Amino acid sequence: MAVPVDNYLRNQFMPHMWCPGCGHGIVLGAVLRAIGRLDLPKDEVCIVSGIGCASRAPGYLDFNTVHTTHGRALAFATGIKLARPDLHVIVLTGDGDASAIGGNHLIHAARRNMGITTVMFNNSIYGMTNGQYSPMTPKGRYASTAPYGNVERNFDMCELVKAAGGNYVARATTAHARQLSNYVEHAIQTQGFAFVEAVTQCPTYFGRRNKMGTPVDMIEWFRKNSVNAAAAAKLGPEELDGKIVVGEFYRGDAPEYTQVYEEVIKRAKEAAAR
């Protein structure tokens, strides 16, 4: 069933600033449809972002929204969640924002198991500043700061968040819009830290420099090069080289931070009353 999302947009701020063919609209649509299916009241949702192309998303959304500084979305979101544990706090962030300048906040939000849903728009590049390589640019790929190919390895952010202690970890691409939306829905329903990596195309900087063709070609490339988690489990590292593993990788039930903290407050009050 189609879920209307117009009600969630601040249409007065259109047109948006994303390039033609950018995948961020597909990711944003997936997030909004997830919120729509869960029928979350707008006032009970708080969307937080940092700096970068992905982080412009909250400006277009009609929820409680906070556009913060580069890399600090999760730090702000942690404060919001502690002050208002009843809110659905959703962080929309990019790969530069979440894995580079804000990487430390990501691992600690996961370690604390803060009840925050994080959707990382991974376009493998710093798009806002014209295409420098990020920690998510695959080895060998080209960027404005790597004209002869990137020599660094990229993170597997899903493995990182799982290892750091998150309760939900999943990945999909813009070729898997429905699946992506379902993962975001599951992430929002998770008690504790939930992380969805949304692999998205940047035709302007990543695609052009890496000769990946049109935006449609890039989405097609995602589809052809994706392997689902069950199939990937049977493949060796060489067979998985250059592939995008998609699926739900982990569901945990570790206690969520603000709930644990409520217990501390309760105990402290009881001690004070004695």
- Which residues would be at the binding site for another protein (CB under 8 A)? 51, 67, 69-71, 100-101, 103, 126, 128-130, 132-133, 135, 144-148
Task: Report in angstroms the alpha-carbon separations of 223 from 114, 148, 174, 190, 218.
Answer: 32, 27, 9, 27, 9
Tell me the closest approach of the beta carbon of residue 131 to another protein, in angstroms.
8
Residue with smaller CB distance to another protein, 45 or 51? 51
CB of 244 to another protein, least distance (A): 23
Shortest distance in whole angstroms from residue 68 CB to another protein: 9
Residue 52 Ramachandran class (φ > 0 left, ψ -120 to 50 alpha, else beta): left
Bridge partners (DSSP) of residue 226 are 244
Residue ranges in the chain assigned as alpha helix (H): 24-38, 73-83, 95-96, 103-112, 157-164, 177-189, 208-209, 215-225, 229-232, 237-240, 257-273
- For another protein, which is the closer residue by CB, 8 or 155? 155
**Residue with Cβ nearer another protein (22 or 66):** 66
Query: Is the distance from CB of 186 to CB of 248 less than 8 angstroms?
Result: yes
Distance of closest approach, residue 132 Cβ to another protein, in angstroms: 5
Q: Name the residue nearer to another protein (CB basis): 94 or 247.
A: 94
Beta bridge partners of 199: 122, 173
Nearer to another protein, 66 or 177 (CB): 66
When the beta carbons of 59 and 85 are compared against another protein, the nearer one is 59
Tokens, residue 81: 């969640």
Query: DSSP state, 152?
Result: S
Buried b (16+ CB within 10 A) or exposed e, 104-129: ebbbbbbebbbbbbbbbbbbbbbbbe
CB of 152 to another protein, least distance (A): 8
